[in-house]
Copies of this chain bind each other. A is one copy, B any other.
């Protein structure tokens, strides 16, 4: 019975981190729930197709549609036809959406800093190296770049 819980640590760590980020960002954006933050976990969603976002998130198009609609209704983004493929819709962040993205990135940077302090740099780096190896996401930027400027 214990194996699934072990396995679930990956998700638990992610969910706890998301809750921390929401606690940081949320007071200025009371209409956001954790699911909405999730959309920003890929980084740089501006210009993405909603179908891509759904595929990347492992969500149904319907669920992604609901998330995007919620964010659109609250003024963080608009959907527009892709000029290259007018049948496809892409997401454009509004000024408010860009500001939210910067706030989320800053909150994540703070969280990662606190994790690095707790674990020490060696174990912190090992965590991401191991996860990169397991996921095959080896094309990620090097360590230096994950320290984004707080207001960048």
Residues on A close to B: CB < 8 A?
1-19, 34, 38, 40-44, 58, 104-105, 108-109, 111-112, 115, 118-119, 123, 126-128, 130-135, 137, 140-141, 145-148
* Copies of this subunit: 2
**Given pairs A7-B17, A10-B17, A119-B133, 11 additional interface contacts (CB within 8 A):** A2-B145, A3-B105, A4-B40, A4-B105, A9-B135, A12-B137, A15-B58, A115-B134, A118-B133, A123-B130, A127-B127
A3-B146, A123-B126, A146-B2 as given contacts; A42 in contact with B8, CB under 8 Å: yes
Residues of B within 8 A of A108 (CB): 3-4, 7
Closest A-B pairs by Cβ, 8 of them: A10-B14, A9-B131, A8-B41, A4-B43, A11-B14, A1-B44, A2-B141, A5-B43
Contact of A148 among B3, B15, B115, B126 (CB under 8 A): B3
Residues of B within 8 A of A140 (CB): 2, 5-6, 9
Contact of A58 among B10, B19, B135, B137 (CB under 8 A): B19
Query: In the complex, what residue of chain B is closest to A60 when comparing beta carbons?
Result: B33
